Amino acid sequence: MSVEQKRTPVNVFTGFLGSGKTTVILSLLKHLPKDYKICIVKNEFGDVKVDSELARNSNVTGVQEMLNGCMCCVLVGQMKNAILELRDQYNPDRIVIETSGSAFPATIAWQIRELKDQGIYLDSIVTVIDCVNFRGYEDTSPTAAMQAKYTDLILMNKHETVSERDYDTVLDHVYDLNPDTAKIKTFEEGRVGCSVPPDLVFGLDSKLFQLTEKHLLATPEESRHHHDNEVDIIQVFAPRQASPTLTHDSLSTFLTSLPKDDFYRVKGMLRLPSIPSDVCEASPINTYILNYAFGRWEFTPLENEPLEGGDQDVRLTAMLARGSARMGSWADKLGAAFGGEAKGVHVHKHY
């Protein structure tokens, strides 16, 4: 590292599928000064660049998306290249990494620490907990439990949607996994999501996952579980039509029918001819981002044509629980519902 080169902090956000990582990050950015330069490295299942489109409408300086694998195993090494490219191209004040929902934070932290001599350092690891669904997947996803155990800060998200009694139960479960780390409720920002003050997340100078501890941390049992399949993927594509054939009502009916124990997420972009004003603002190009998680969903209007997929009416990725029954049948149903082709792929197997 040259004398003139500044040190660039990196903050890692982990949390299981649907916990609200993207929403928390984008809302957090709104509390930063307008001239604050921040870049994001985003790890996504499938190959639909949903969150790049969301970031285009925010004050993010630059985005790198890593697709079709997990940066903690299959894509090891690519993350370091992404961080250095963003640093060299944009000279940001900070880089934020949003992991996939099934990423083990240790491997990611070690990759960051290996960049110390190039001016990159790990500032914090933040875990976002979904208060609605955490008790449903903490036993079936060893990675979700590890994310809660190994972190500098735990953000209790979606707490406003559960009763006080249910929140206390979730909090007890999180305390069982990690009694020492601070647990902070996110606060609501109306329709735009939830957030936390930047001072709570930034400047923590994490001491987790030192390189000298690499051979000590992961127990054989944790490693064995983490290298199992945790998520199955179905990708859906529908070609561009003269006018969108999918309607908000038909889409809502279909999403309501999905069993939330099987379907963790459905994310992507689609065209709709119209949408009720109480659901979201209208898109001038009739194109929306769909974000479905565990039986709840929301739409975000796009103002500009997406960077990719402009020749398609639907580009979606559905994420199902590992080994979900009738995966092929669900692929057929998704294809029929969205008027396109749906194909099951097993892209997230840790090796």
pLDDT mean over 188-193: 53
Tell me: do 193 and 248 sit in the same domain: no
Cα 150 to the center of its chain, rounded Å = 18
Tell me: do 198 and 282 sit in the same domain: no
Tell me: do 249 and 196 sit in the same domain: no
Q: Which residue, 172, 199, 226, sits at the end of a domain? A: 226
Assigned domain for 2 exists: no
User: Looking at residue 253, which CATH number applies to its domain?
Assistant: 3.30.1220
Instruction: List, for residues 51-80, the tens digit of each pLDDT value.
Output: 556 665 566 888 887 765 555 555 566 889
pLDDT mean over 189-198: 64
Tell me: do 185 and 50 sit in the same domain: yes
Tell me: do 157 and 213 sit in the same domain: yes
Q: Residue 176's pLDDT is what?
A: 94
**Domain ranges, residue 259:** 231-345
Amino acid at 5: Q
Q: Which residue, 196, 226, 256, sits at the end of a domain? A: 226
**By three-state DSSP, how is residue 160 classified?**
helix
Q: 208 Cβ partners below 8 Å, 6+ apart?
A: 105, 109, 122, 125, 150, 151, 152
Residue 260 tokens read as 């939330």
**Rounded to 5°, angle at Cα 144 from 143 and 149:** 90
**Is the predicted pLDDT of residue 346 greater than 70, yes or no?**
no
- CB distance 29 to 6 below 8 Å: no
Tell me: do 258 and 182 sit in the same domain: no
**Is the predicted pLDDT of residue 351 greater than 60, yes or no?**
no
Cα separation values, 295 from 73, 250, 292, Å? 29, 16, 7
Average pLDDT, the chain: 80
**Is the predicted pLDDT of residue 2 greater than 60, yes or no?**
no
Assigned domain for 221 exists: yes
Tell me: do 87 and 145 sit in the same domain: yes
Q: Residue 192's pLDDT is what?
A: 45
More confident residue, 205 or 244: 205
More confident residue, 326 or 62: 62
Assigned domain for 203 exists: yes
Tell me: do 116 and 245 sit in the same domain: no
Amino acid at 133: N
Assigned domain for 3 exists: no
Tell me: do 245 and 206 sit in the same domain: no
Instruction: List, for residues 159-189, the tens digit of each pLDDT value.
Output: 998 999 999 999 999 999 999 999 999 986 5
CA atoms within 13 A on the CB side of 20: 28
What do you get for the CA distance between the two ends of the chain, in Å? 33
Q: Residue 226's pLDDT is what?
A: 47
Tell me: do 205 and 291 sit in the same domain: no
Assigned domain for 350 exists: no
How far apart CA 337 and CA 151 sit, in angstroms, is 40
**Is the predicted pLDDT of residue 20 greater than 80, yes or no?**
yes
DSSP tag of 170 = H
**Is the predicted pLDDT of residue 83 greater than 90, yes or no?**
yes
What residues form DSSP beta bridges with 184? 155
Assigned domain for 1 exists: no
Residue 48 banded pLDDT, cuts 50, 70, 90: low
User: Looking at residue 221, which CATH number applies to its domain?
Assistant: 3.40.50.300
Tell me: do 211 and 266 sit in the same domain: no
Give the chain's count of helices (H) and strands (E).
11, 15
Instruction: List, for residues 270-310, the tens digit of each pLDDT value.
Output: 888 888 888 888 888 888 888 888 888 888 888 776 656 56
Residue 243 tokens read as 């006018």
Q: Residue 125's pLDDT is what?
A: 96
How far apart CA 47 and CA 93 sit, in angstroms, is 28
DSSP tag of 117 = G
Residue 116 banded pLDDT, cuts 50, 70, 90: very high
pTM, to two decimals: 0.80
CB atoms within 10 A of CB 273: 11
Q: Identify which of 281, 269, 271 has the alpha carbon closest to the alpha carbon of residue 246.
A: 271
- CB distance 198 to 155 below 8 Å: no
**Is the predicted pLDDT of residue 138 greater than 70, yes or no?**
no
More confident residue, 231 or 30: 30
Number of domains in the chain: 2
CB atoms within 10 A of CB 54: 21
Q: Residue 347's pLDDT is what?
A: 45
Assigned domain for 288 exists: yes
Assigned domain for 201 exists: yes
Residue 255 banded pLDDT, cuts 50, 70, 90: very high
How far apart CA 126 and CA 41 sit, in angstroms, is 15
Alpha helices per DSSP H over 122-261: 134-137, 142-149, 164-177, 198-201, 220-226, 248-257
Tell me: do 24 and 83 sit in the same domain: yes
Q: Which residue, 226, 257, 290, sits at the end of a domain? A: 226
More confident residue, 242 or 283: 283
DSSP tag of 116 = G
